[in-house]
């Protein structure tokens, strides 16, 4: 009897629904219905990650940076959040902080695709030794 259920959708369920319905433009609006301070563990990480993604998707890089910084403070063990914040530091012209955050990400907690991206960012900043470091985790 889901019709009468008072159980609220989880963050993952909301995201899955929006993706299935091709309504990811509603992500920010739907996430605002949650109080992140009341979420636990993985759901809290997911909320913070997608809260940053929502700002990124609408092209607001300063807000995305602020949100990913806040997310990292709230969920410092999340490699997904750490990786996203590292990318934002790269865009802001701070390769040292970017690389420091990338180095905190562990394979296979992040995908080989993420490591390739980290390597590419390092290459763009002419940090070849760091670029090779990330590639060596895969090969």
pLDDT digits (tens, 9 = 90+) for 26-82: 999 999 999 999 999 999 999 999 999 999 999 999 999 999 999 999 999 999 999
Structural domain including 101 reads: 78-139
Q: What is the pTM of this model?
A: 0.89
Q: What pLDDT was estimated at residue 109?
A: 85
DSSP string, 65-119: HHHHHHHHHH-TT-HHHHHHHHHHHHHTT-HHHHHHHHHT--TTTS-HHHHHHHH
Last residue within a domain, chosen from 52, 77, 102: 77
| Domain count of the fold of the chain | 2
User: Taking the CB of residue 36, how many other CB atoms lie within 10 A of it?
Assistant: 17
Reply yes or no on whether the pLDDT at 1 is more than 50.
no
């Amino acid at each position: 009897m889901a019709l009468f259920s008072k159980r609220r959708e989880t963050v993952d369920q909301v995201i899955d629904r929006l993706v299935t319905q091709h309504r990811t433009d509603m992500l920010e609006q739907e996430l605002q219905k949650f109080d992140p301070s009341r979420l636990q563990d993985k759901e809290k990480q997911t909320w913070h990650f997608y809260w940053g993604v929502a700002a990124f998707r609408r092209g607001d890089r300063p807000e995305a940076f602020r949100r990913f910084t806040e997310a990292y403070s709230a969920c410092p063990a999340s490699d997904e959040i750490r990786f996203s914040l590292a990318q934002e530091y790269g865009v802001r012209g701070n390769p040292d902080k970017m690389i420091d955050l990338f180095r905190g990400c562990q394979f296979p907690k992040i995908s080989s695709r993420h490591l390739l991206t980290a390597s590419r960012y390092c290459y763009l900043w002419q940090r070849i030794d760091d670029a090779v470091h990330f590639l060596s985790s895969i090969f």
